[in-house]
Structures are given as C-alpha cells and as structure tokens.
Amino acid sequence: MTDKPEQFVEELMTRIPEMSSESFQIDLPHDAFGTLALLLCRKIHEGASEDFLDRVFDLLNEMATSQETEVLDLLVTGVLEVISDYDECSLVAEQRLNPSGQALLREVKRWWTNPG
C-alpha cells in the first residue's frame, strides 16, 4: 500500500497517463495533484469517459483511506479544495468518492462556507 505523498505521485503518473500532457512540477506533490484536480474538472465538463473517472477516483479513494496525515492533507488541499470550487465536478466527486472521501469533501465545503 502506498503511504507517502511522493509514492502517490508515482501512482498518479502510472495510472493517469493523461497527466503527461499537463504542465506541473513532478517533485511537488501538491502541484501534481492540483493539476490532476483541474484536469479532472476539465474532463468532467467535456464529458469524461467512465474509464478516466474510474482510474482517477480509484486513486483518490485509496488516498482517502490512508492513515498518513501527509497523504490526507495532499488529498484535501491538492484535490478536494479545487473540486469544491466547481459544482459539476463536486457533484461527480460526491457520487464517486468512498465514504471517507465524501466525509473529507463535506468538511472542505463546510470549512469554505463557515471558516473559523
């Protein structure tokens, strides 16, 4: 099982070959996953394939069940905060995230709605 942010970047590049055409710094996990979030939202808007969605959300769901704080932080700040800014993307995420991921997304939305 992958348990470090850097390992998830490796998994990202292996599982989501569409990332190879995106511009980001591979040695910065938050940059890589922020780019994934933007790619995901763009693809959803354009009518993403089930295969693409399955591959992305399989990876995000693995991250959501991690026991590592750094991995959860990467998921929340790198992906879920971006997703929560786009209604269409957020709706798809709510349907495809596992219960742990859904809880994190709800927390992000709650924090953005009522900061402090």
pLDDT per residue over 34-51, tens digit each?
999 999 999 999 999 999
Tell me the whole-structure pTM to 2 decimals.
0.92
**Per-domain boundaries in the chain:** 5-113
Note whether 89 and 41 are within 8 A (CB): yes
Give me the pLDDT at residue 18, please: 97
